[in-house]
Structure 1
């Protein structure tokens, strides 16, 4: 059965990159929450520039998720009517407290607490399915894994869940960017439907999953058995180790040899094409105050800052926060706003407002889920739901 227009509630919306991937697969985002006003304007301008309108291009609530309860959310989303039998929640709580490169405060940090609040809202609103996105440190770091185990313990009382670390590079994004994803489907929704035997088993046992406290990451994965049909792109799967990438910086004046690697995974395919300079936000970049920019060789990404990309290699994970924007491979400047969005696989038509500060633009771009990765996950969720309704 083909499903279309499945309603979604979007938390921590930001610039809406996660939303775009779902919209591209026919989902309908009808409620959004983002409490940083510059991001609100950025989202509404950007999504509207793609041709979306109505509730999909509007942030319905700009208060902190800490301040809004389930009844208010449901009333705003469904106009006081009873929620439909099939709807979902998507979101990625702010993640610096779980990031290896962040403050690492975990659940005690101001952002870390939002992950638990997000899980509580999921349980209170009781959607048919949900998606939770965050940094891999939430799973890979032992001190954070106990917190994650407690969240999963809550969720598995009502939902059949699965967890996976996915790399955007494996889905045609020119960026080595890993994210952890948790999907869940409500047991009461799954039980009446015709399910394969393996799914029926999961419905019956998932509520009894024990808490994982000091277990290894492998044990975490084994617990959930990888039952969800996570997306795989055959052309790019395992790209980081599958292909031989340039590893040495290019000497000044030198021209690097082009490797036999997929062009969609090379940053130069997107940001060394002059035709791209006519796209929205192409002339916006941060001007460096240091003369060091001219000393960095193409492909030298070894330093903490002033990383210059290699035209025939993928980008390191986006480090756009705090104005640490990567250097262009062949031009004497940092990446432009448009180039940063291209490396996040954002559609060409998407634009951020002119009066939004460069710091806010790069921050919201860096926070976003690469659109191609979002589209792959939303496609997998849609296929799974349609399989249930066959």
Structure 2
């Protein structure tokens, strides 16, 4: 069951789909700082390193599905908010171009919840129309990853569609309140005492970490960072893991920050030594990457960026399983179609559910 992945990043979305039984036959990622990480963790996927704008439709293999997360900075509430008017925002059209050319059975596109801001309403409606005009029944929803077992509050929007001739509409898996029991304690408690600070100029410790990538960014904190509490307790969910190491949440070993003036907080006096940013590996655990998923980088900023930009694999897995279950009657009836069904079973998901 081959699918293709655009704007693959480090491959969190891809990894979740693989654990559900799909095969990523071909992927595209233009950021050279990610290539080594993607290829190491997806050794059976052909990675095309060119800009998607330079790749002709005919160079992309046929597949049952198309997945990806077009760059989101243009839509982010924390970013420039230029949306579709930004060159990165326009990469959504490249996703749609390839969707129209390849006509897979389904597609999934992920982006930040900032797309839902009123200023982007017209652009969002146009994107929805483009998906429908491409020949797909579109399902659209904002999801919180915490409702699917991911130990953080993380809201993202998903566009998922089935080709019109399938006469199917995608049904999102139901959220679970029990899933929110997967707290910071469950995710990272065993990593508390063996993290390493970054080397000078935030360079990596390399293979010196007892646990891969278990190193954290050092240095001061901006006034913006100190404007609100950045500590979640052991029995809580994490704040959203962002793509910036400077804004990584603080470790739950520290007490919550004290409010001393409007929009000004400080570390609790006498406990300053407890305040450190979460390590790259702790952020990866919170994103539900297993420890066997290795991030390759020289400067820690690149590691945090790869982790923070990824779709949590566990959330991707739940969506991938739902797609597989809903397509199963069609796949069974067309097992001998030109695009062969390579594996109709669901793979072992222990790599996602078990962090260590």
User: TM-score scaled to structure 1, two decimals?
Assistant: 0.71
> Are the counterparts in 2 of residues 307 and 327 from structure 1 also a CA contact under 8 Å?
yes
Change (3 A) 1:274 1:359: closer
Match of 1:73 in 2: 60
Matched, 1:325 2:248: yes
Please give the alpha-carbon distance, in whole angstroms, between the structure 2 residues aligned to 1:288 and 1:323. 9
Alpha-carbon separation, structure 2, partners of 1:281 and 1:306: 25
Given that 2:57 and 2:102 are in contact with CA atoms closer than 8 Å, whether structure 1 keeps it comes out as yes
Q: Post-superposition shift, 1:310?
A: 1.9
Instruction: Indicate conservation of the 8 Å contact 1:306/1:326, yes or no.
Output: no
Aligned-partner Cα distance in 1 for 2:139–2:175:
19
Q: CA deviation at 1:276?
A: 8.8
Unpaired stretches in structure 2, ≥5 consecutive residues: 195-209, 254-273, 333-356
Secondary structure in structure 1 of the residue aligned to 2:308: helix
Alignment match, 2:184: 267
**2:354 aligned with 1:377:** no
> Deviations along 1:257-293, whole A, 9 cap, x unmatched?
xxxxx2x1x21222222489543112x211123599x
Counterpart selection for 1:127 from 77, 94, 104: 104
Preserved CA contact (<8 Å) 2:139 2:171: no
1:148 lines up with 2:143 in the alignment: no
CA distance in 1 between partners of 2:221 and 2:57 (Å):
49
The 3 A distance-change label for structure 1 pair 362 and 26 is: same
Contact 2:17–2:316, Cα closer than 8 Å, also in 1: yes
Q: Distance in 2 between matches of 1:98 and 1:115?
A: 11
Looking at structure 1, the residues matched to 278 and 324 of structure 2 have their Cα atoms a distance apart, in angstroms, of 35
Provide the residue aligned with 1:279 in structure 2: 211
Matches within 5 A, 1:103-118: 103-118=80-95
Q: Which residue of 1 aligns with 2:341?
A: none
Q: Secondary structure at the match of 1:273?
A: helix
2: distance between equivalents of 1:368 and 1:290? 24
Indicate how the Cα distance of structure 1 residues 389 and 14 shifts in structure 2: closer, same or farther if over 3 A, else same.
Answer: closer
SS at match of 2:60: helix
Number of equivalences:
296
CA contact (8 A) 2:37 2:295 kept: yes
CA–CA distance in 2 between the matches of 1:360 and 1:97?
19
> Do the aligned residues in 1 keep the contact of 2:10 with 2:37 (CA within 8 Å)?
yes
Q: 1:268 to 1:68 in 2, by over 3 A?
A: same
Aligned partner of 2:293 in structure 1 is: 350
TM-aligned CA distance change 1:28 to 1:378, over 3 Å: same
Matched with 2:338 is none
Question: What secondary structure sits across from 2:146 in the alignment?
Answer: helix
**Aligned residues of 2:242 and 2:305 also touching (Cα < 8 A):** no
The structural deviation recorded for 1:305 is 7.0
CA contact (8 A) 1:38 1:356 kept: no
Q: 1:149 to 1:186 in 2, by over 3 A?
A: same
Are the aligned partners of 2:225 and 2:247 in contact in 1 as well (CA < 8 Å)? no
Query: What is the match of residue 155 of structure 2?
Result: 178
Unaligned runs of 5+ in 1: 1-5, 75-82, 192-198, 200-226, 240-261, 293-300
The answer to whether the Cα contact below 8 Å between 2:191 and 2:282 also exists between their aligned partners in 1 is no
Compared with structure 1, are the counterparts of its residues 321 and 110 closer, same or farther at alpha carbon in structure 2 (3 Å cutoff)?
farther
* Partners of 1:167 and 1:178 within 8 A in 2: yes
What's the C-alpha RMSD, in Å, of the aligned pairs?
2.4
Q: Counterpart in 2 of 1:334?
A: 277
Q: How does 1:147-226 map to 2 (within 5 A)?
A: 147-157=123-133, 158-188=135-165, 190=166, 199=168
Distance in 2 between residues matched to 1:168 and 1:136, nearest whole Å: 12
Distance 1:328 1:275 in 2: 8
Distance in 2 between the 1:156 and 1:276 partners? 51
- What does the per-residue CA deviation read over 1:160-212, in whole Å, with 9 as the maximum and x for residues that have no partner? 11111111000111110011111111123x15xxxxxxx4xxxxxxxxxxxxx
